[in-house]
Structure 1
Amino acid sequence: MTTTVSDFVIARIKEWGVSRVFGFPGDGIGEFDGALGKAEKDGVGVEYIRPTHEEICSLMATAHAKFTGEIGVCIATSSPGAFHLLNGLYDAAMDNQPVVAIVGQQGLDALGTFSQQQSNLERTFADVAVYVQTIVSPAQAQAVVDTAFRMARVRLQPAVIILPHDVQGMPMPEVGAENWVSRSSAVAPSTAVVPPADELARAAAIINAGEKVTFLVGHGANGATDLVLEAARKAGAGIITALRGKQVVPSDVPHHTQQLGLLGSLPSLHQMKQCDTLVLLGTNYPYGQFLPATGQARAIQVDLKPEQMGLRYPTELNLWGDVAATLAALVPLLEQKTDLAWQNHIAEEMVDWESEMDAQADVEYDDGVNPRRVYHELNKRLPPQAIVTADAGTTADWYGHHIRLRRGMMGDLSGRLATMLAAMPYAVAAKFAYPERTVICTIGDGAFQMLGMNELITVKKYLSRWENPQLIILVLHNDDLSQVSWEMRTEDANPVWSTSQDVESVDYAGWAELLGFTGIRVTEDGQVADAWDRAFANRGVTLIDAHTSKNVPPLPPHITAEFARNTAKALFKGDPNARGAIRDSAQALLTEGIERVKDTLHLGRDDKDKRDDKDARDDKDA
């Protein structure tokens, strides 16, 4: 039987290591879908996962790349299906993930003729993808497929292959040595790049000279856990992880102070205010306001993305390289610090911070379950090798504040794009990648209503494929887009606008039960622990419908005057939730304890932790 272009593409992506794709059918990709079906029947295909929407396909492909390190692949039809892929592809682009999208197109003769579902897809994808190419002849297919996968892998960005419907079914020739025909290979160059020896020596000299060294570790350091810990041990360094780097450094490392910024810890903030040397490892941390003052610290950045180095802080040295390979060459050059006062001080502060997180989780509110308690109790019960996903919104705050990933655990979310609804496709993609592991999805009700509820249908469809069917979905049910509500107050001094913020209340546990899953309703703080115990005892799918307070403030570790002023203005402009927000904020602040309040009000500071004059004025105003 004649091999078609579609047959060739399927065989070629398998050569690139692809075993699973996430797709949604349509006539524009119909011939290719037919070839996928034939390959499956013949036992030479790839696993084809069809969720409920093309956007879910691209988010699942991105999650697959994040959790496995492999290239994620999504497939969709022409115009409408292709457009639906965009959000997930932007998620891949902004979080530096290798994803290849294969999209259909109308036949070659239809291009540029305003035919149904014919659009300029190359222009559409030009902003999001590192490589976009339409295959216009069979002889071109090999080079286009290989280039797309090679560029996705090396550039850590999405690439797009456009397959016109008629080309999909054309016979695939043997590519020969002909003019204008490229003969390519399904081989990517190694990304284990190591900087030159003289630059490594400079980096070691900078770190060795530092007395208060801090490592800021991101997702780009995945796979380098032991090297990061060894470098920190020799340098006497404190460690902060970016939110997407949470899984890189185990939570039981005493000088690991978790995250930085609005959803970070006070010890992390103190590290940034006091360090004299900053080493950024595989991170494009975007919030420069939380980094050291200009001139305070000597800084080094290590990354495979050279265009993203030296952007957030004026670095003295940028090392273009893979974090693991670079640290392997750098660690032998580091001198062992004998004075560990800096590292020990960080560890002591972290003990105090964890006590504060415990206290915040214990607060009881009159208007719903404390969302912090829900995450706090989850954290206590995380089994070995668990995978946790979080959504954009307050779920990310509570994930950052309360979830502690131990060695072997994984966790992720949509980072720089911070798109809503990603937690659910991320969790399902993780379940496909690691069917033996327990996966926990944490998501808000607004995001769950977007496409998350649909994905319970996908779970029902594929549940039998997972050797361990345990999947737990936590829905924070507060009938409010609560993160945006707080942003309206704190960023713009606007009261909550109920017309835009209210979320229609739905019986989420009932929806899970309708599909044959276990639904658990939590309406009181005293029910939280038992709900998690029941969920982890259930060898199946469980949805916890937690009726949480929408007024619990996602308090940053340091409250600025702008934050305080804007919130006060918003609450007294007729905010419909003002009474609850004031009451719950007051309870949260009181729980912080006298030491935290003293830090906020700038009382009792010592010489080691002096802020600049502007911060002092801000604290007084706050």
Structure 2
Amino acid sequence: METITSEVLISRLADWGVDTVFGIPGDGINGIMEGLRRNADRVRFVLTHHEEAAAFMATAHAKATGRIGVCLATSGPGGIHLANGLYDAKLDHAPVLAITGMQETSVLGTGYQQEVDLTRLYEDVSVYNQLIVNPQQLPALVDVAIRHAYARRGVAHLCVPNDIQVAPADADPYQHVSPAKPPATAPVYLPSSVRPRDEDVARAAEVINGSAKAAILVGVGARGAGALVERMADTIAAPVVKTLSGKMVIPDDSPYTTGGIGLLGTAPSEELIDDIDTLVMLGTNFPYTKHLPQAGKVKVVQVEIEETRAGIRLPTDVPLIGDVEATLHALIPRLTRRTDRSHLQRYQAQMRDWNEKMHALENGERDPIAPQYLASCLDELANEDAVLCCDSGTIATWAARHWRIRGGREFYLSGNLATMAPGLPYSIAIQHAFPDRQVIAYQGDGGFAMLMAEFNTACRYDLPIKVVINNNNALGQILWEQMVLGYPEHGVRFGDPKPDFSAWAHACGGFGARVEKAGDLRAALVEAFTHRGPALVDVTVDPNEPPMPGKVSYEQAKKFAQAFLHGQPHKASIATTLFKDKIQQLKADR
């Protein structure tokens, strides 16, 4: 059997260490599917139900393993469906390769069926974007695409027309020049350990040593350098604030952290940001500037691997271009140990008080079930090395505050895109990559319903993910955002009939349980977590529990009150829930 071009494509992926491709077949990629079939001993094809999920899976694979994730879609609508998941990879800087099909080269430009110029569509999302027009371009362009994805931390795209896919691998219809032939040996990408210049490190140390009240803000770019972050915090007696994507950089019980920042953050972090003279930013490009110090009021040292991102959020006194680990190894020896610990101790005390208040809301005696209680049960029952894949919405608040990083735990979500629905496909990809770890998909009912067919994918591949649905039968985050704007809620509650997602789990061949009473929750989660295969627990929670910011501003409170005055339809239930929350927190203060 003659070797076809698609066979060379897939074989070169395998040479790069790619062992999995996520996607859906289609008539625009039948040749590539044959290439996968002929390389089935080296590359596994994971069949999804939606191309968006395939892109999310590739993104999650890249985030969790550090290795390139690969997704595959047919021409036209298939390639369009990939886009949302690819933007997740772009905005969170995950190395992903998207492979798409295209109509035969002879009909391009004629308005043929499903003809969509995917290279133009992907111009904004990709760091490398190429249409293959000659079999001789492969495998060299596979190498180029993957190197771009790794080096520029983003999405590379190869679009392969149908006729090129099935052409003989040695075909050369033009024969103008000799094609580039990469070496036959297995290719590797060796990222350099980028270290700032000594003079910049010295300037940064001077700024930090001259501060009286410093804080450290860490993002996911500091992942793997947690011990060094804590060492720096101890040296300069500075509290550490964590972005949500950077939640797993240091443990939540670290004596140095004040937890998260922003709407999902903590009151101590909000207070801290207003009480510092120096901010050290490590591996973060945190976008919500209203939660950062006022520009020009503090000194800023920023460690950033990408030169173009340094100084985007705040005027930066000393930008340090390098990876966090290498930079901290160079910087910490230059720092003077601070003997006055009062600044750090003040926020350690505030954090103890905050944790007591959060614990008070984890009340298992309230019905409807408090979402904080559900999150705390997950925290209590999950393994010490569990991976939590969180969706966007109110559940991100509950995860930020009640899912605690300790031991080998990890935490993933769509950070900068903040899209709905990735929790389930994330969990599938990460479980596939780490079959011996406990992987939990923590989702709202709105996000789960978008890609719920992928629970069937988990069952088909016998991936023992645990799906826990925080079911408030509403688009909860938007509900509260409307009210904070001063508007009564509108169009955000799904109403009746309420779907029973546990029935879907059973229909797929997995474990399913529906919980409506707080007293039944813990036992249902234990049963799901001990089930050997995929399991789903659909938990009805209080739809009137607001995800309150760590520190409520006067303007937020005024707009919230205006929503009540303008005819908020569920104001009695919301007021009752808020009253119960306050009573629980007052008890914690006693």
User: TM-score range, shorter-chain basis?
Assistant: over 0.9
Equivalent residue in structure 1 for 2:470, among 448, 472, 476:
476
Rounded to whole Å, the distance in 2 between the matches of 1:503 and 1:435 is 38
Rounded to whole Å, the distance in 2 between the matches of 1:504 and 1:414 is 30
Rounded to whole Å, the distance in 1 between the matches of 2:96 and 2:501 is 32
Unaligned runs of 5+ in 2: none
Rounded to whole Å, the distance in 1 between the matches of 2:61 and 2:410 is 12
Equivalence for 1:574: 567
Give the CA deviation at 1:483.
Answer: 0.9
* SS, match of residue 253 in structure 1: coil
Question: Which has a greater percent of helix?
Answer: 1
My pick for the range that moved more, 16-25 or 504-513, is 504-513
Equivalence for 2:123: 126
Give the CA deviation at 1:441.
Answer: 1.0
Deviations 1:438-488 (A, max 9, x none): 11111111111111x21110011001xx5xx3x221111221111111111
* SS, match of residue 28 in structure 2: helix
* SS, match of residue 244 in structure 1: coil
The answer as to whether partners of 2:214 and 2:277 remain within 8 angstroms in 1 is: yes
The answer as to whether partners of 1:363 and 1:588 remain within 8 angstroms in 2 is: no
Give the CA deviation at 1:540.
Answer: 3.0
The answer as to whether partners of 1:139 and 1:173 remain within 8 angstroms in 2 is: yes
Unaligned runs of 5+ in 1: 597-622
Equivalence for 1:400: 400
Equivalence for 2:167: 170
Rounded to whole Å, the distance in 2 between the matches of 1:347 and 1:531 is 36
Rounded to whole Å, the distance in 2 between the matches of 1:399 and 1:260 is 13
Equivalent residue in structure 1 for 2:504, among 499, 504, 511:
511
* SS, match of residue 579 in structure 1: helix
Rounded to whole Å, the distance in 2 between the matches of 1:282 and 1:594 is 39
Rounded to whole Å, the distance in 1 between the matches of 2:181 and 2:207 is 46
Equivalence for 1:539: 532
Instruction: Confirm or deny that 1:529 pairs with 2:522.
Output: yes
Deviations 1:117-145 (A, max 9, x none): 22211111111111111011122223322
Counterpart of 2:411, as a letter, is G
The answer as to whether partners of 1:254 and 1:350 remain within 8 angstroms in 2 is: no
Equivalence for 2:581: 588
The answer as to whether partners of 2:364 and 2:518 remain within 8 angstroms in 1 is: no
Equivalence for 1:379: 379
Residues 1:504 and 1:426: Cα distance change in structure 2 (over 3 Å): farther
What are the residue-to-residue correspondences of 1:49-60 with 2, within 5 Å?
49-60=46-57
Counterpart of 1:70, as a letter, is R
My pick for the range that moved more, 518-527 or 184-193, is 184-193
Counterpart of 1:370, as a letter, is A
Equivalence for 1:456: 455
* SS, match of residue 546 in structure 1: strand
Give the CA deviation at 1:382.
Answer: 2.2
Equivalence for 1:159: 156
Residues 1:590 and 1:559: Cα distance change in structure 2 (over 3 Å): farther
Rounded to whole Å, the distance in 1 between the matches of 2:365 and 2:178 is 71
Residues 1:212 and 1:499: Cα distance change in structure 2 (over 3 Å): closer
The answer as to whether partners of 2:474 and 2:492 remain within 8 angstroms in 1 is: no
Give the CA deviation at 1:115.
Answer: 0.8
Rounded to whole Å, the distance in 1 between the matches of 2:506 and 2:166 is 44
Rounded to whole Å, the distance in 1 between the matches of 2:552 and 2:179 is 62
Rounded to whole Å, the distance in 2 between the matches of 1:277 and 1:539 is 50
Residues 1:503 and 1:385: Cα distance change in structure 2 (over 3 Å): farther
The answer as to whether partners of 1:572 and 1:578 remain within 8 angstroms in 2 is: no
Give the CA deviation at 1:246.
Answer: 0.8
Residues 1:149 and 1:138: Cα distance change in structure 2 (over 3 Å): same
Rounded to whole Å, the distance in 2 between the matches of 1:590 and 1:488 is 26
Rounded to whole Å, the distance in 2 between the matches of 1:272 and 1:389 is 28
My pick for the range that moved more, 296-305 or 156-165, is 296-305
The answer as to whether partners of 1:379 and 1:404 remain within 8 angstroms in 2 is: yes
The answer as to whether partners of 2:360 and 2:588 remain within 8 angstroms in 1 is: no
* SS, match of residue 98 in structure 2: strand
What are the residue-to-residue correspondences of 1:222-241 with 2, within 5 Å?
222-241=223-242
Give the CA deviation at 1:178.
Answer: 7.9
Give the CA deviation at 1:499.
Answer: 6.8
Rounded to whole Å, the distance in 2 between the matches of 1:572 and 1:266 is 27
Deviations 1:364-418 (A, max 9, x none): 655x210011101211222121001111101101001111111311111111111
Give the CA deviation at 1:590.
Answer: 4.4
Rounded to whole Å, the distance in 1 between the matches of 2:430 and 2:44 is 15
The answer as to whether partners of 2:71 and 2:98 remain within 8 angstroms in 1 is: yes
Rounded to whole Å, the distance in 1 between the matches of 2:69 and 2:51 is 14
Equivalence for 1:612: none
Deviations 1:177-229 (A, max 9, x none): 98474455744352421111111111122222222221111111122122222
* SS, match of residue 286 in structure 1: coil
Residues 1:313 and 1:363: Cα distance change in structure 2 (over 3 Å): farther
Counterpart of 1:574, as a letter, is G
Equivalent residue in structure 2 for 1:108, among 96, 105, 109:
105
Equivalence for 1:194: 195
Rounded to whole Å, the distance in 2 between the matches of 1:547 and 1:83 is 34
Rounded to whole Å, the distance in 2 between the matches of 1:503 and 1:474 is 21
Equivalence for 2:479: 485
What are the residue-to-residue correspondences of 1:202-281 with 2, within 5 Å?
202-281=203-282
Rounded to whole Å, the distance in 1 between the matches of 2:515 and 2:389 is 20
My pick for the range that moved more, 375-384 or 524-533, is 524-533
Rounded to whole Å, the distance in 2 between the matches of 1:499 and 1:323 is 41
Rounded to whole Å, the distance in 2 between the matches of 1:409 and 1:363 is 24
Residues 1:503 and 1:25: Cα distance change in structure 2 (over 3 Å): farther
* SS, match of residue 404 in structure 1: coil
My pick for the range that moved more, 135-144 or 120-129, is 135-144
Deviations 1:270-324 (A, max 9, x none): 2211122211111111111111123332111112222222121221111121112
Residues 1:226 and 1:503: Cα distance change in structure 2 (over 3 Å): farther
* SS, match of residue 259 in structure 2: coil
Rounded to whole Å, the distance in 1 between the matches of 2:18 and 2:320 is 31
Give the CA deviation at 1:430.
Answer: 1.1
Equivalence for 1:370: 370
Equivalence for 1:354: 355
Rounded to whole Å, the distance in 1 between the matches of 2:392 and 2:425 is 13
Deviations 1:524-574 (A, max 9, x none): 222233333333333333221111011101011111122112212222322
Instruction: Confirm or deny that 1:138 pairs with 2:132.
Output: no
Identity level (%):
39
Counterpart of 1:450, as a letter, is M
My pick for the range that moved more, 201-210 or 433-442, is 201-210
TM-score by length of 2: 0.94
Equivalence for 1:422: 422
Residues 1:173 and 1:230: Cα distance change in structure 2 (over 3 Å): farther
